[in-house]
Each structure stands twice: as C-alpha cells, then as structure tokens.
Amino acid sequence: MTPWRIRDLHDDDLDAVIRLWDDLTAGGASPAFGVSDLIAAVRSDAPAVVAVVGDEVVGAVVASVSGTRAQLMRITLAAGWRRQGIGSAMLIELERRLVSAGVHRITCLLAADNEVGALALEHCGYSVHPGMRLFEKLEPVGPEDVGVLAQLGGRMIRAGLWEQLGGMTKEKELIERRIILPLANPLTAGRLGLVPPQAVILFGPPGTGKTTFAKGVASRLGWPFVELFPSRLGADSPAGLAAALRDAFGLIAELDRVVVFIDEVEEIAGLRRPGVPAHSQGVTNEMLKLIPPFRERDERLLVCATNSVRELDSAFLRHGRFDYVIPVGPPDDEARLAIWERYLSSMPQAGVDVGYVVQESRLFTPADIEFAARRTAQLVFERVVFEQGGDAATTEDVLSGIRQTRRTLTPEIVAQFEQDIASYARL
Ligand SMILES: Nc1ncnc2c1ncn2[C@@H]1O[C@H](COP(=O)(O)OP(=O)(O)OP(=O)(O)O)[C@@H](O)[C@H]1O
Ligand SMILES: [Mg+2]
C-alpha cells in the first residue's frame, strides 16, 4: 500500500504548505508566482491538492482558473518524497477537478531548475516548447463548438506544424514572443499588464509562408483554425460579401477560442479612394466595424495576410485594430534548405550537393522550390523511361530543374518589400 495519498488542500493545511513553498529544495519557485500570490489563490478557493503521509503534508499543487483555461501556479514536493509518482498523482487529481470545472487547456511556466515539476508534467503528457519551460496540455474542443466549426469549415491543425517550418528564425521568434506566448499564458500576461494580441497582419511577397505561419500559430495554441476566403464568401451569398462577412463573424463569436485567417485581405479592406466602386467601400466599412466586437473577447486571434500591404486602407491599419503588422520575407538559406530536403528526400539521389542547390535557388519561394523539384523528378523519370538511364538525381539534374523554373521573386519585388517594412511594419 502506498504510504501517501492525495486530497484537496484544506485551510488547515496552509501553514504546512507555506513551509513547503518557502523550502527552496521542495520543487523550486515558479518564475510567475510568488508565495503571496499562492496564499491569495488558496484563500480565494483556487483548485489545489496536497499529498499527505500520515498527518504530514509532503507536496502541493495549486492552479488558477480563468474560463476554460487553467494555469498551474506551483508544483512542490518535499525532497525525501521524489521519484515515487507523487508529483504525477497530484497532477492527475488536480486535472480531474479542473476538467470537471470545464477547463480545456492547462499551462504551466516553470523555473528552469524545477526538475520535480518538469518530471511530473512530462509523465502526465504535457508537451514542452523548445527553449522554454512552458508546459501545456490541451483538452479537445468543447462539444458545443463542433457544429459551429463545421459550418465555418474550421478544423484543428495537427501538432508539430510550427516545428516543421524550416529556417525563418527571425519571423518565428518574433511570432512566438509577441503572439503565441502571451496567448498561451494569459494569466501571467494579465498579471504583468500585458494584453495578449487579438489581431495581426502578416505581409510579404507571394508564397513566403504567411498561410503556413498562421496555421502554425493555431497548431501551437491548439485552437481551431478557420479560414475565410473573401472570393468564396461573396459568391456564396447573394446578400453580398459584407453580409457574408457579418454572418461569418457572428458564428465565430460563438466559438470558445479560435484563430481566424483571412488571406488576400486587400480584397475586403482595400483602399477607399475615388474610383473604387462604392460596394467595395461598403465591404471595407463592414470589416472595420467587425473588428472591435471581435476584440472584445479573449482567446481569439484574427490573422490577416496580404501580398500588398500598401493596398490596405489606412483606417484598417491604424493602431487599435491590429496589434502587430509583421513582415514575412522570402525564405532564407536555412528555410530553403529545409524545403529542398523535404522534396529531395522522396527521390533516389546520387550525392546531391544541397548546399549548392540552396545557393542556386536564391529568390525562390517555397512554391518555386516545389515546382523545381517536380521538374527534377520529371527529368529523371524521362531518363529512366526513354534512355534506360540512371535513376538517381544528381546535382546537375536539380540545377536543370532550377533553370526550368521561373522565380516568383525579383530583386524589385524584394526591394519593394523592404520599403514596405520601413513604411508599415509594426512589431
Ligand atoms: N519555412 C518553411 N519551411 C518549409 N516549408 C515551407 C516554409 N514556408 C512555406 N513552406 C511551404 O511552402 C508553401 C507555400 O507557403 P504558404 O502558402 O504558406 O505561402 P503564402 O505566403 O501564404 O503564399 P500566398 O501569398 O501565395 O498566399 C506551402 O506548401 C508550405 O508548406
Ligand atoms: Mg497564403
């Protein structure tokens, strides 16, 4: 029989638990919450469990809840009681209470030296973000959201998409810090007076990965992803694009949490200028009206993407509507390497010099690389079929594939993008 058991934390336990929190050998401090925060949380009936051996309290876990989210505030276990599964048992008990209170997402920010907490979280299926001690666990989408999501064509994005985005370290780090971490840790952000972002614009030349970044954010947050297509919205609804947008945002408001993505947003928020037809100005006005109510609720993020940020209405770009305006540039060497490796891995190869291929495909977008890889495979295929030649792709084959591909990007497009960064980026 185990000598320990897990139960709710009672008022009488508080002195013993405070002694544990003060004991730095018992699990390390969380960078997010001090002892006074923890005491205040317990006094206000935050969900909390303790591990006891006889009458002695040897461990405690406290969480705070905000709607369907919970954050583990501190995981503590006395030094003599490690590695017996007590940490995990406390977490499982606490999770049970949180889930029955309607919680879907549980996060925990740990101090780097909190080994006890890290082990328990890992045992209980929490995932770790690389380079961060942010642990989180996702409970699936609530049942009431399923129907609405289906109507909007929304879906969950598989885990790991973010990690598979090759290179683009500048963009990734920026989006991670400004968008993902504040949204994933709203309690810490709120305590520190940081309002998590609710709407952002991604701009950059075609095929640079804007859509992929938006999906990556949804994947990292574990929120459903809803993409609105301006061209399809208008066509679907006789009442026109403005009405269709209003309807879509009405449905979106019913979701607990969501990443909404609008590609080619210049189609619905283009410049209102003389010569632009009145009905399209009406669409821009409608979109401007829809953003404030969208921003009133937590746990939602609007990502708008455009190839031509200079085409956007200035009122649309104003502070207060979009928190950040982020450039997503042409794939750097590392990104092109990752993309080339993905495509080359599906071909038999004879020592392709990938480094050289990466250099020769400067100004290629991911879509261009995909096309060049297809040309390469076609070339080898024809050699095998018509000439009974070798079936392994060589560096020369890949270079031929590259030569047969028209680059989407030109130095002029890149120069224009640099100018747009200077005029419009807000990071
Ligand atoms: N950094 C990356 N690493 C690996 N693959 C990538 C990367 N960026 C983009 N891709 C791939 O390249 C393709 C094009 O990317 P995506 O559609 O996201 O570009 P986009 O900027 O949204 O393009 P558009 O402006 O045309 O809408 C996708 O198949 C995507 O998987
Ligand atoms: Mg796109």
CATH number of residue 85's parent domain:
3.40.630.30
Last residue within a domain, chosen from 121, 138, 155: 138
Q: How confident is the model at residue 302 (pLDDT cuts 50, 70, 90)?
A: very high
At residue 104, the pLDDT reads: 85
Count of positions (residues) in the chain: 427
In this structure, the strands spanning 56-66 and 69-77 are antiparallel
Distance CA 32, CA 30 (A): 5
Q: How confident is the model at residue 252 (pLDDT cuts 50, 70, 90)?
A: very high
At residue 133, the pLDDT reads: 58
At residue 238, the pLDDT reads: 47
Ligand number nearest CA of 330 is 1
Output the residue whose Cα is nearest ligand 1's atom 14: 207
Q: How confident is the model at residue 256 (pLDDT cuts 50, 70, 90)?
A: confident
What is 108-161 written as a DSSP string? EE--TT-HHHHHHHHHTTPEEPTTS-EEEEEPPPPHHHHHHHHHHT-BPPPTTH
Distance CA 17, CA 353 (A): 61
Q: Are residues 251 and 324 in the same domain?
A: yes
Model pLDDT for residues 85-114, shown as the tens digit of each residue: 898 899 989 988 888 778 888 888 777 667
Amino acid at 256: D
Over residues 37-45, mean pLDDT: 87
Q: Are residues 326 and 337 in the same domain?
A: no
Distance CA 329, CA 72 (A): 37
Residues paired with residue 107 on neighbouring β-strands, in sequence order? 71, 136
* C-alpha distances in Å from residue 272, one per residue of 5, 161, 194, 325: 67, 37, 33, 20
Q: Are residues 83 and 128 in the same domain?
A: yes
Q: Are residues 204 and 289 in the same domain?
A: yes
Structure tokens at 274: 């003389």
Q: Are residues 64 and 76 in the same domain?
A: yes
H helix or E strand, kind and range, residue 162: helix 161-164
Inside any domain, residue 273? yes
Q: Are residues 357 and 392 in the same domain?
A: yes
Residues with CB under 6 A from ligand 1: 165-168, 206-212, 263, 307, 331, 335, 338-339, 366-367
Whether the per-residue pLDDT at 55 is higher than 80: the answer is yes
Ligand number nearest CA of 366 is 1
At residue 36, the pLDDT reads: 83
Whether the per-residue pLDDT at 233 is higher than 60: the answer is yes
Inside any domain, residue 242? yes
Of 265, 268, 262, residue with least CA distance to 282? 268
At residue 377, the pLDDT reads: 96
Inside any domain, residue 417? no
Query: What distance in angstroms lies between residue 23's CA and the mean position of ligand 2's atoms?
Result: 52
From 163, 168, 211, 213, mutation site for ligand 1 pocket: most ligand atoms within 8 A of C-beta: 211
3-state helix, strand, coil in the chain (%, to 5): 50, 15, 35
Over residues 142-168, mean pLDDT: 80
**H-state helical runs in 205-277:** 210-221, 230-236, 240-252
Distance CA 408, CA 331 (A): 12
At residue 319, the pLDDT reads: 78
Q: Are residues 156 and 288 in the same domain?
A: yes
At residue 239, the pLDDT reads: 56
Over residues 122-126, mean pLDDT: 82
Model pLDDT for residues 317-345, shown as the tens digit of each residue: 887 889 999 999 999 899 999 999 989 99
Inside any domain, residue 425? no
Q: How confident is the model at residue 115 (pLDDT cuts 50, 70, 90)?
A: confident
Q: Are residues 59 and 73 in the same domain?
A: yes
Output the residue whose Cα is nearest ligand 1's atom 12: 366
At residue 241, the pLDDT reads: 83
Whether the per-residue pLDDT at 139 is higher than 70: the answer is no
Inside any domain, residue 413? no
Inside any domain, residue 161? yes
Last residue within a domain, chosen from 300, 330, 360: 330
Whether the per-residue pLDDT at 236 is higher than 70: the answer is no
CATH number of residue 319's parent domain:
3.40.50.300
Last residue within a domain, chosen from 76, 110, 138: 138
At residue 222, the pLDDT reads: 86
Q: Are residues 159 and 246 in the same domain?
A: yes
Q: Are residues 368 and 384 in the same domain?
A: yes
Inside any domain, residue 93? yes
Q: What percent of the chain has pLDDT over 90?
A: 43
Is 248:230 a contact under the CB 8 Å cutoff? Answer: no
Over residues 226-241, mean pLDDT: 74
Q: Are residues 304 and 168 in the same domain?
A: yes
Model pLDDT for residues 346-375, shown as the tens digit of each residue: 899 888 999 999 999 999 999 899 999 999
Q: Are residues 187 and 321 in the same domain?
A: yes
277: containing domain: 143-330
Q: Give this prediction's pTM.
A: 0.67
Q: How confident is the model at residue 307 (pLDDT cuts 50, 70, 90)?
A: very high
Distance CA 128, CA 131 (A): 9
Whether the per-residue pLDDT at 286 is higher than 90: the answer is no
Inside any domain, residue 421? no
Over residues 52-71, mean pLDDT: 90
CATH number of residue 387's parent domain:
1.10.8.60
Whether the per-residue pLDDT at 279 is higher than 80: the answer is no
Q: What percent of the chain has pLDDT over 70?
A: 89
Per-chain mean pLDDT for the chain: 86
> What is the number of domains present in the chain?
3
